Amino acid sequence: MTKCGYVALVGRPNVGKSTLLNHMLGQKISITSRKPQTTRNNVLGIKTEGENQFLFVDTPGLHLNQKGAMNKYMNKAASTAIRDVDVVVMLVDRLVWTDEDEAVARRLEGLELPLIVAVNKCDQLDDKNVLLPHLQVLTERLSPNDIVPVSALRGMQLDRLESIIAKYLPESEHFYPEDQITDKSSRFLAAEIVREKITRQLGAELPYQMAVEIEQFEQDRGVLHIGALILVERDGQKRILIGDKGDRIKQIGQQARIDIEKLFDTKVMLKLWVKVKSGWSDDERALKSLGYDD
Ligand code: GDP
Ligand code: K
Ligand code: MG
């Protein structure tokens, strides 16, 4: 009998959810960075391994004390994700338990689902003696079905995590063909890669007031031509993004092109434009038209 089920990856911002998803899939479908709010949408990552099909739902972390339409959208996405899944994997850090972790834990209370706790970033554990007491505290607070130390970045113990998750997958036909890795469109993935490069390059504020819209996406004689529009809120942000003599936007474009070529296994021509449009990032209708509406 085959198994198939939805597995929510939850946890506070920056704990490593998207990194974990990418490593499990062996493909980069969910963008990552050191900044919170990198992941805005729920991203489905599909992994078929023999009899088992895992439908991982990567979620934006819950964002505490944050206002604005984008934050509302992200928190809603994170909350709905845990309603319709078969298993929850909560990621926590190897050392600390914060208010943000506590907020996630509260959301999980009363859910009658198997809960697996993955204690992440264990590649950065100088003193191994601190892990055991931490695991004990986590076990008491969360009463998980299983708990496992991992490193999403280095791929430590992810096989073990996967076989633990497999125990809780319901018996079912597979929902997707075995070679499919996501439900997101190629356009979405391309836009996200551009957004990742900008998020990684720029300071703390801009990433939240920036969106990427794909205007052109055409294969022509072996080359994928992509045109992407980058929306920002203010003139100053446009200037920062473009950089001195256009060198920053050029760098962003080069980095994004390399990743997009890898993902689609084709030569890519990428053109980027920056446009100022005030107010869109706190405007629910504008967000909807940019695809933040599921
Ligand atoms: P998310 O917000 O939970 O999706 O977190 P990301 O996947 O975007 O990761 C946030 C940051 O933590 C990135 O800079 C990652 O490279 C880093 N990171 C994720 N997993 C690990 C890990 O296992 N070890 C280390 N050292 N860093 C990690
Ligand atoms: K992040
Ligand atoms: Mg993420």
Confidence of residue 196 (pLDDT cuts 50, 70, 90): very high
For residues 227-238, give the mean pLDDT. 94
Q: Which CATH superfamily is domain 3-167 in?
A: P-loop containing nucleotide triphosphate hydrolases (3.40.50.300)
Q: Using CA positions, which residue lies closest to atom 6 of ligand 1?
A: 16
Residue 280 pLDDT more than 90?
Answer: no
- Provide the pLDDT for residue 65: 62
**Residue 265 CA, ligand 3 centroid: distance in Å:** 24
User: Which H helix or E strand runs over 195?
Assistant: helix 186-201
**Residue 14 CA, ligand 1 centroid: distance in Å:** 6
Q: Using CA positions, which residue lies closest to atom 14 of ligand 1?
A: 34
Cα(235)–Cα(275) distance, integer angstroms: 9
Q: CATH for 186-289?
A: 3.30.300.20
> The tokens of 206 are what?
């801009």
Q: Using CA positions, which residue lies closest to atom 12 of ligand 1?
A: 16
> Ligand 1 test: best mutation among 39, 120, 153, most atoms within 8 Å of CB?
153
Give this complex's ipTM: 0.99
Confidence of residue 8 (pLDDT cuts 50, 70, 90): very high
Percent of the chain past pLDDT 90, that is, above it, reads 76
The dihedral sign for the CA sequence 171, 177, 182, 183: negative
User: Which H helix or E strand runs over 204?
Assistant: none
Question: Does ligand 1 lie within 6 Å of residue 42's CB atom?
Answer: no
- Provide the pLDDT for residue 6: 97
Q: What are the start and end residues of each CATH 3.40.50.300 domain in the chain?
A: 3-167
Cα(294)–Cα(291) distance, integer angstroms: 8
**Residue 1 CA, ligand 2 centroid: distance in Å:** 37
- Provide the pLDDT for residue 294: 61
For residues 69-96, give the mean pLDDT. 90
For residues 257-264, give the mean pLDDT. 96
Closest CA to 249 of 210, 291, 280: 210
Name the phi and psi angles at 234, rounded to 5. Answer: -135, 160
Q: Using CA positions, which residue lies closest to atom 25 of ligand 1?
A: 121
Question: Does ligand 1 lie within 6 Å of residue 38's CB atom?
Answer: yes
Q: What are the start and end residues of each CATH 3.30.300.20 domain in the chain?
A: 186-289
Are the CB atoms for 183 and 46 separated by under 8 Å? yes
Are the CB atoms for 12 and 61 separated by under 8 Å? yes
pLDDT in tens, 199-219: 998 876 677 789 999 999 999
* β partners of residue 9: 58, 89
Nearest ligand, CA of residue 11? 1
